[in-house]
A and B are shown apart, each in its own frame.
Chain A
Amino acid sequence: MAHAHESNTKRIWMVFAILSVITIVEVIFGIIKPDSLHLTSILGTSPLNWIFIILTLFKAYGITWAFMHMEGEKKWFRRSVVWTAVFLICYIVTLFLIEGGYLFDTLAPLTNWKY
């Protein structure tokens, strides 16, 4: 780290405030669950779920970049970590969720809910 001796305390508290606000927003949405966001659907799931996922990714960015100090690492070191993880995670999640959807389509008609 080039700027090893200066203090980043102010920035740390700033990031903490942002992460806290995001968590509070998530919890409020999770408790209220407005029908217009909860019962509608875009791109395969409800807008509410997309909000949660985007806020989560934003929190992950905050933790990695500020707390884990990814922003201070060399560009290609950062990329070797972030690109690898992001690519492989997207890959496995896509395959698994497609497969899960297929299992539901196949299984659900065979499940008995009438007695």
Chain B
Amino acid sequence: MGATIAVNSEDKNTWSGGGNRPFGASYGKMMMWFFIVSDALTFSGFLAAYGLTRFKFIDSWPIADEVFTHFPFLHGVHAPMYYVALMTFILIFSSVTMVLAVDAGHQMKKKKVTIYMFLTIVGGVIFLGSQAWEWKNFIKGSYGAVQTTDGKILQFVTQDGVNEKGEKVFHQVALTDFVVEAHEERVTHTRKNGLWNESGETLPTYSVNEVVSSYNSNADVLIRIEKMDLATKQKIVLSKEEGARYLLNAKQVVEGANLHVNEYGNPIFADFFFFITGFHGFHVFSGVLLNIIIFFNVILGTYERRGHYEMVEKVGLYWHFVDLVWVFVFTFFYLV
């Protein structure tokens, strides 16, 4: 058997490549780098697919500033970008504590490694919590919209006034702000009534009829469509009459976003959001788990006995990679 194995398997160090150090790097570290290359290609495949889809719908893609506008404890305040920027900081900072742990490991300072590893884990957990909160807001939605029979999203706005360039400025209004309930009979189809063992979708807060009649009776409320005016990069706002014509095709009221419908625009935007940030979040989650394992090994003195803290360095590479991916997700989902 020995002849077919490239490295010396009698040597107890097989896991670390048996002392072979191609490129002067240890086997484990080199393989972590090559894993990172393949994972980077996976992520770029996803982001490239996102780019393709965005280019395909370049004149009707949701504007990120209008989608992600929440900040904790600031209800109703329009705060685009700040929250993701904060998340970016948290992740970069946990990268810093990680690299400080690696640095302390080189100097064999067990206590310092322990503290910095702990801080890294805390940073990762805070990031995961923030991500969950971001998902919650996105799934719950903020304004509500109407979907037409051919799948287009109609949002409701009122005019704020005119800006210095003479363009009309609008802000979105929530359905709850202008829809008057008509007290009509609407029953959620459960497994127990109607078709046996089949349940219908949960009914939104308002019916299409309520939204349409409230739109018609409220002169201030206008409709904004998905299509963008490419000269101003703003979504087009329809006139009152034109909006009423669009509403004739209304199919359902949409609140929030899921894989089928999305009150912010094209459902595929939501699909990519869930998929890419979800896949990244899963990486962060596994990173936190790996960090916890290494953290306990540090406390137990495993690396002290081994004589080096290279394991911290390897898991650190993975952690930095997760940060690196987030930098790109941040740019292409929220900025560009």
Residue of B nearest to A92 (CB): B48
Asked if A39 and B106 sit within 8 Å, CB to CB, the answer is no
Given contacts A104-B56, A113-B227, contact A68 B321 (CB under 8 A): yes
Selected contact of B24 from candidates A27, A77, A85, A96, CB within 8 Å: A77
Within the complex, the shortest CB–CB distance from B241 to chain A, in Å, comes to 11
Count: A-B pairs, CB below 8 Å: 153
* A55, closest chain B residue (CB): B331
Cβ contact within 8 Å between A97 and B25: no
Residue B81 is within 8 A (CB to CB) of chain A in the complex: yes
B323 contacts A by Cβ under 8 Å: yes
- Candidates A8, A24, A93; contact of B48 at CB < 8 Å: A93
Q: Cβ of B103 and Cβ of A73 under 8 Å apart?
A: no
Whether A36 sits at the interface, judged by CB under 8 Å, is no
- Do B85 and A27 touch across chains, with their CB atoms under 8 A apart? yes
Judge whether B1 is part of the interface by a CB distance below 8 angstroms.
no
The reply to whether B23 and A97 form a contact with Cβ atoms under 8 Å apart is no
Verify if B304 is at the interface (C-beta below 8 Å from A): no
Sort chain A's interface into a size bin: 35 or more
Is B58 an interface position by the 8 A CB rule?
Answer: yes
Q: Chain A binding site: helix, strand, loop or mixed by DSSP?
A: helix
- Residues of A within 8 Å of B81, CB to CB, are 27, 30-31
For B296-336 the 0/1 string (1 means CB < 8 A from A) is: 00000000000000000100110011011001101100111
**Contacting pair B25 A13 (CB below 8 A):** no
Which DSSP category, helix, strand, loop or mixed, fits chain B's interface?
helix
Residues of chain B from 153 to 184 with CB closer than 8 A to chain A in the complex: none
Chain A residues with CB under 8 A of B59? 104, 108
Contact with B along A23-50 (1 / 0, CB 8 A): 1101101110000001100000100010
In the assembled complex, the Cα of A85 lies from the Cα of B328 at a distance in Å of 14
Option from B106, B246, B323 in Cβ contact (under 8 Å) with A1: B106
B25, B47, B54, B150: the one contacting A77 at CB < 8 Å is B25
Contacts of B122 in A (CB 8 A): none
Are A12's CB and B324's CB within 8 A?
no
| A window 5-21: CB within 8 A of B | 5, 7-9, 12-13, 16, 19-20
Q: List 20 A-B contacts (CB under 8 A).
A: A9-B103, A12-B99, A13-B96, A27-B81, A27-B82, A30-B65, A31-B65, A31-B80, A38-B233, A52-B331, A52-B336, A56-B328, A66-B99, A69-B313, A74-B25, A85-B41, A89-B40, A89-B48, A92-B45, A115-B245
